[in-house]
Structure 1
Amino acid sequence: MDARSFFRDAHWLTGQRVRGYALLLGLASLALLANSFVKAMGVEGTDFLAFWGAGNVIVQGDPASAYDLAVQQRIQTGTGSEGWFAFVNPPPFLFAVAPFGALPFPVAWLVWVAITYALWAWAGIRAFPKLWPLVLVYPGALIAAGHAQTGLLTGALLVLAAHAFTHRHVWSGAAIGALVIKPHLAVLAPFWFAASGRWSAFIAAGATAVGLVLLSWAVFGAQTLLAYTTSWEASAALMEGVNRDFLLRMTTFYSQTRLLAGDTAAAIAGGLSFSLALAATVLSARRFREDPSAIAATALAATALASPYLFNYDLPFLIYPTLWLVDRGLRDGFRPYEKLALVALWFAPYATRAAALPLGINLMPLAALVLLWLVWSRAAADHAGTRSAR
């Protein structure tokens, strides 16, 4: 085997070796997760404090205090942490965090990670049952687990929506509607469903979102919904100024351009990124109408480019477009250099996060752009082959 073939065809990257590498990564990740837990219990704190603190006041019968900064500071620092975090998620998310407020903080952290990871893994394996080792140790999911953030839960909903889009449109829409807990991750969904003519999914998404808001109003009260509006100030404060470390943890063209070139250039970059994501989603829905999984893979790949506000821990949903490419490659054959490109994209959430501080830039937006291009080009080739076979 010559050097060119080694990289171009990567025949050495067999299924057996991939499973072996996945096992090694999984074992290493257990150690990293244990380290994350130890740090989360330390004085610096962890994002999960916001979820636990919100759940704690619900248990005490005062859900509106989930958004009270003074109350949250007192409750969260009561764990021994010097750091504390504002709870800024919409009221329907309180349904998810409420049970954890009744648990001791260390136990709640472990149970949250275990349950949300299990939900995400179930959705990923349901979509790609033969590729389950790659699902279980996907770096994007492992990062989310270490942060004990929302990425595994939202990732499960997006992957479920993509997988159900092929046959169960109502379920697909309901999963998207549940993303009212983090709505900027669902910004492309109305266009995705409408352009595809999947009106049952469109209606189910809207009904689920509205239903969850109304249910949270009924259960937690109007005062809690009004209190949520005060959290917008906390969210805005996070985006004020140029905090280098904060922006480097983000994975968008907006954030990286703002870091390097300021607000005006960032707004332009963010607008162009969203426009590209929207165009890819709508055009794929029209062009690949007979291949709903290709439309779903395009929509999820484009989601990583749609919002200006996205972090490394938000990326578990990228398992769907990544493994969609792997699945198509196993079925139809891999294109030149595609195997190595997919290895790089699979590791991208880890690699770009690790390199961000040393390089002074997070390269994940470029990886997301490459992923979208690979999905589009593979879907277009499949579409052309189908048409020529007729």
Structure 2
Amino acid sequence: MLAETLEGVQFSPSKRATYLRLVLAALAAVIAFKTFWFARWGGWTDRELADFDAFHIVAQRVWRGDVDQVYHFGALLKMQMEAAGGTTGFMPWTYPPQYGLLLAPFALLPVGVAYLLFTTATLALYLAVLRTISGANFALALVILFPALVITIGSGQNGFLTGALIALVCLNLERRPLLAGLALGAMVIKPHLAIVVGVYLLATRRWVALATAAVVVLASSLLCTLLFGWQIWAAWLGAIRESASYLEQGSYPLYRMISTYAALSKAGLPASIAFWGQVTVAGLALLAVLVGTARGTSSRFALGITVMLSVMISPYAYDYDLPMLGIGLALILPDLAGLASPRERSWMYGLILLAGAYGLLQSARLAAQVDPSRHFTPAIGGFALMALLLLLLKLLWSRGQPAPARPQTAQQRL
């Protein structure tokens, strides 16, 4: 079975070391290649823009004092065409102003160097916290997550940063709730991925962490208001409204999304039905959080399930958000053998691999300048995550308390 094959990685120290070296070497090679690509060295002088290019454009507008213009899609399209030196695919901008402020220092560097610094720093942070959480399961987690990690590197996206922030919430929640709250508050850069964790903190009465997160959000919002003016919030809300119509019209690359909405929409269902399908899945995800806290599972397992469900709430979730799901997987792995059969674990690992590998395939097609949108390209990642949600609900509902896990080392404890 797939589970036995993958889990065999962790039983031999020499095998673990070999897999770790191979995965890390492959990730380093992809970063080096993409650094040349973003820097437009060699044969990539004329290329389409990618996600980090959009980050760099926004960072430049912060220094020019007109960052509110990136929330007006017509103005943003002109900026992106200027950066590309011609026509390019449009990337709407709906991040809160706090993320633009975070990106501002990268405008002081050429785009290739900025990409290298951003990606290596966030990846290093992500791998550090993933190793702390997963312990002896680190190699196993890396193998399962490998396609998702490559996707995130390839686009220069922030999946490593958001995954690391949620991991810091989990690592500090028990003993350092103030630090956990700071990390949760920093998720204001991508708030829809923090909803489920916020519900978990409410259900478990983590008032210090919640209060600290609220202070971070309010303080950072005040800072953005002072720097950018009140108009920044009206511009941001306008962009969100406009992006909703983009999503309904299918103007986003839905085949790269991992949401229920994208899966149902690409399957040919009307936008209204896809929307209610997303609402249903979000409701089931929140139900799973409550079940996990009420059924007597370990706090680590319940928190891991919560993190895995965090990428299933919003209709706007992409394959580069999957590193966060990996943090949840690392949390539940110690209890998983006592809760799930080898067949169930095989399905779980396979669904995560499928979501990442499918996104990697579509990224490769785009890199080869084959536009998947011209053909029928289903959003397989969304279906994979729906199946994963049902599997997690089954485990929570039917198993209850997991079998006692082996004693953990200090590195494995939260």
- The aligned counterpart of 1:115 is 121
In the TM superposition, what is the alpha-carbon distance from 1:221 to its structure 2 partner?
A: 2.6
Per-residue deviation, residues 53-86 of structure 1 (Å, max 9, x unmatched): 1111222344434435565455544444432534
Correspondence for 1:57 among 61, 64, 67: 61
Q: State the TM-score, normalizing by the size of structure 2.
A: 0.79
Alignment partner of 1:253 out of 254, 260, 266: 260
Q: Does 1:305 align with 2:303?
A: no
Alignment of 1:175-324 (within 5 A): 175-243=183-251, 246-260=253-267, 261-288=269-296, 291-324=298-331
Amino acid at match of 1:121: L
Q: 1:348 aligns with which of 351, 354, 361?
A: 354
Looking at structure 1, the residues matched to 125 and 9 of structure 2 have their Cα atoms a distance apart, in angstroms, of 28
Equivalent pair of 1:322/1:342 in contact (CA under 8 Å)? no
Question: TM-score, normalising length from structure 1?
Answer: 0.84
Deviation at 1:246, TM superposition (A): 1.0
Q: 1:46 is matched with which residue?
A: 50
Q: What is the aligned partner in structure 2 of residue 361 from structure 1?
A: 378
2:152 to 144, 152, 161: 144
User: In the superposition, relative to structure 1, how do residues 285 and 205 fare at CA in structure 2: closer, same or farther (>3 Å)?
Assistant: farther
Q: Matches of 2:340 and 2:115 in 1, distance apart? A: 41
Distance 1:273 1:76 in 2: 35
Distance 1:126 1:171 in 2: 16
- Whether contact under 8 Å (1:165, 1:292) holds in the other structure is no
Query: Structure 1 residues 321, 207: CA separation in 2 closer, same or farther (over 3 Å shift)?
Result: same
Q: 1:305: how far off?
A: 1.9
Change (3 A) 1:265 1:38: farther
* Aligned residue pairs, count: 378
Q: Is the 8 A contact 1:54 1:65 kept in 2?
A: no
8 Å contact from structure 1 (residues 90, 228) kept in 2: yes
Contact 2:125 2:164 in 1 (8 A): yes
**1:298–1:321 CA contact under 8 A, matched in 2:** yes
Identity of aligned residues (%): 24
Say whether 1:157 aligns with 2:165: yes
In the alignment, is residue 377 of structure 1 matched against residue 379 of structure 2?
Answer: no
Match of 1:85 among 87, 91, 95: 91
Q: Distance in 2 between matches of 1:8 and 1:322?
A: 13
Q: Distance in 2 between matches of 1:148 and 1:213?
A: 25
Aligned in 2, Cα 1:146/1:192: closer, same or farther, shift over 3 Å?
same
Rate the CA distance shift 1:380–1:295 in 2: closer, same or farther, 3 A: farther
Change (3 A) 1:264 1:233: closer
> Which region of structure 1 is more displaced relative to structure 2, 188-197 or 268-277?
188-197
Secondary structure of 2:249 counterpart: coil
Residue segments in structure 2 that go unaligned for 5+ positions in a row: 41-45, 363-371, 405-414
Q: Relative to structure 1, is the Cα distance of residues 202 and 379 closer, same or farther in structure 2, using a 3 angstrom cutoff?
A: farther
Alignment partners' CA distance in 1, 2:58 and 2:294: 43
Aligned to 1:326: 333
Cα pair distance change 1:379/1:216, threshold 3 Å = farther
Aligned AA (2:218): V
Structure 1 residues 233 and 12 mapped into 2: Cα distance closer, same or farther (>3 Å)? closer
Provide the rounded CA distance (Å) in 2 between the counterparts of 1:323 and 1:216: 35
Kindly state the Cα deviation for residue 341 of structure 1 after the two structures are TM-superposed: 3.8
Give me the whole-angstrom Cα distance separating, in 2, the residues matched to 1:283 and 1:71.
Answer: 46
For the residue of structure 2 that corresponds to 1:188, the secondary structure is helix
Question: 1:234–1:106: structure 2 CA closer, same or farther, 3 Å change rule?
Answer: farther
Query: Which amino acid is 1:179 matched to?
Result: M
SS of equivalent residue, structure 1 residue 238 = helix
Instruction: Return closer, same or farther for 1:305/1:88 CA change in 2, 3 Å cut-off.
Output: closer
Partner of 2:401, secondary structure, is helix
Q: Report the counterpart of residue 3 of structure 1 in structure 2.
A: none
1:3-18 aligned at under 5 Å gives the runs 9-10=4-5, 13-15=8-10, 16=12, 17-18=15-16
Deviation of residue 107 (structure 1)? 1.2
Question: Closer, same or farther in 2 for the Cα pair 1:73/1:167, shift >3 Å?
Answer: same
Are 1:125 and 2:124 matched, yes or no?
A: no
In structure 1, the residue matched to 2:22 is: 24
